[in-house]
Amino acid sequence: MNLSDIYIERMAIGGNGVGRIDGKVCFVPFSVTGDRLKVRISKESRSYCEAELVELHESSNLRVNPLCPAFGICGGCNWQHIEYSTQCNIKQELLTATLQRMGGISAPNVPKTAPSANQYSYRARAQFKLHSTESGLAIGFFRRGSHYVIDLPDGCPVVRPAINRAMQQLRQILQNLPDRDRIPQLTIEEGISGVVAIVHYIGSDRKGIIRQLQKEKGRLPLAGLFLQTSRKESILPVFGDGELKFSVPLCADSARSMNLGYRIGGFSQINREQNSVMATLVCSYARPEASHRLLDLYCGNGNLSLPMSEKVQELLAVEEFAPSIASAVDNARQHHVNNSTFKCNDVVSEVRQLVTQKARFDTILLDPPRTGAVEAVRSVGELGAKKIVYVSCDPATMARDIMILCKSGNYRMIEATPLDMFPQTAHIETVALLSKSY
């Protein structure tokens, strides 16, 4: 059986507890600092091992009872067993350690994690997996480490109630379709004007399934329904509008806000309340002024830069995904923003062009994907910005990029604030401020 006893000493990036077995570092999912466990080693290398929890000998005082009955089986949340304020403390500690180890910053300034207003019922988007069985349609998420669908008849506790209601109603309709086995996924998203869903379809009768779904319009609590047959470009309307909107506070006056739209299938932060907290933090770091030129790289639909537009002289925003740029242009037009230019281009190529043109900016906003912006940050230092505000969903790639900016761009990190965008998980969102050293 290869069973061992272990004491969990700390937590690691990714969410596993860390202890030692015979002197070797061991990572244990679904554990927490202070646990004493019996584990089964599942993977072993020369320098570390991984183990599965078999028995909880002594429970840490940081533990709580998980809310979801599928916790530990479902491949979604991995921290429901940890008390919420402890989750936030751990994220602060992990970000600090990552900046030290991978960013080369000896004593990083990392404030306490900005907690989420909602610990559950916060996700405004969910991608449910589907599996057709003889007894009906299973709708939920993949079992951890597999493609077996865990059925969630009552919905998921971390998504918005309106999304769970829409899923349950769609279950009744989809399980009666003749080719329900050709529907592998269901995406449901909530915006200001209601809930929109995408039925992912890999069958051959697109027109037929659209007709069948249109007949059910009156039964569905949806503002829009769409059919996706392959890539995002292949989204076909069943009924309703394909635009979703959310509210973001203005940088000039946080008591006011602007509603920003994006097209179905596009990106947006799924924790709307925390997105507002993040936008406010970005504004406080950037401190835009009327004479400033602002460069927003990986701008999306203008989520973080449009709220600052009326405070700056000029905004240039760059994004590779064409539908997001189209949404940003629409948002600027609807809010009468006339000092902004949105360019659909690869960020690295655009930065190199700007360097060649000897362009200058006062502040640069970076919000790259999980892989970071390693090629872009090698050049942004040549654009003369006094400040860089870096938004990241991955502490490791952010730390790497910050180290490059500090070494080659002559910047220093002033502060990095973790935000809990994803409660009950180990994911860490961060907003960091860098200042030019002279």
- Do 366 and 430 belong together in one domain? yes
Residue 246 bridge partners (DSSP):
260
Task: Give Cα 157 distance to the centre of its chain.
Answer: 17
Q: Is the residue at 120 inside a domain? A: no
Q: What is the largest CA-CA distance in the chain?
A: 69
Task: Give Cα 434 distance to the centre of its chain.
Answer: 22
Q: Is the residue at 361 inside a domain? A: yes
- Do 209 and 356 belong together in one domain? no
- Do 343 and 300 belong together in one domain? yes
Residue 186 φ/ψ, nearest 5 degrees: -135, 120
- Do 283 and 415 belong together in one domain? yes
Q: What angle do CA 301, 303, 309 make, to 5 degrees?
A: 100
- Do 225 and 98 belong together in one domain? no
- List, by residue number, the catalytic residues: 393
Q: Is the residue at 84 inside a domain? A: no
Helices 395-408 and 84-101, packing angle to 10 deg: 40
Q: Is the residue at 100 inside a domain? A: yes
Q: Is the residue at 187 inside a domain? A: yes
Kindly report the CATH number assigned to the domain that includes residue 162: 2.40.50.1070
Enclosing domain of residue 334: 93-115+248-257+271-436
Walk along the chain (438 residues) and give the pLDDT tens digit of each residue: 579 999 999 999 999 999 999 999 999 999 999 999 999 999 989 899 999 999 999 999 999 999 999 999 998 999 999 999 999 999 999 999 999 999 999 999 999 999 999 999 999 999 999 999 888 899 999 999 899 999 999 999 999 999 999 999 999 999 999 889 999 999 999 999 999 999 999 998 999 999 999 999 999 989 999 999 876 568 899 999 888 999 999 997 878 999 999 988 888 999 999 999 999 999 999 999 999 999 999 999 999 999 999 999 999 999 999 999 999 999 999 999 999 999 999 999 999 999 999 999 999 999 999 999 999 999 999 999 999 999 999 999 999 999 999 998 889 999 999 999 999 999 999 999 999 986
Which residue in 372, 375, 382 sits closest to 409, CA to CA?
382
pTM of the model: 0.94
Name residues whose C-beta falls within 8 Å of residue 22's C-beta, 6 or more positions apart in sequence: 4
List, edge to edge, every strand of the sheet that includes 125-133. Answer: 149-151, 136-142, 125-133, 185-191, 194-200, 224-228, 235-240
Q: What angle do CA 186, 189, 190 make, to 5 degrees?
A: 150
- Do 205 and 277 belong together in one domain? no
Domains in the chain: how many in total?
Answer: 3
Distance CA 276, CA 94 (A): 23
- Do 252 and 236 belong together in one domain? no
Distance CA 433, CA 282 (A): 9
Kindly report the CATH number assigned to the domain that includes residue 59: 2.40.50.140
Distance CA 315, CA 311 (A): 10
- Do 330 and 389 belong together in one domain? yes
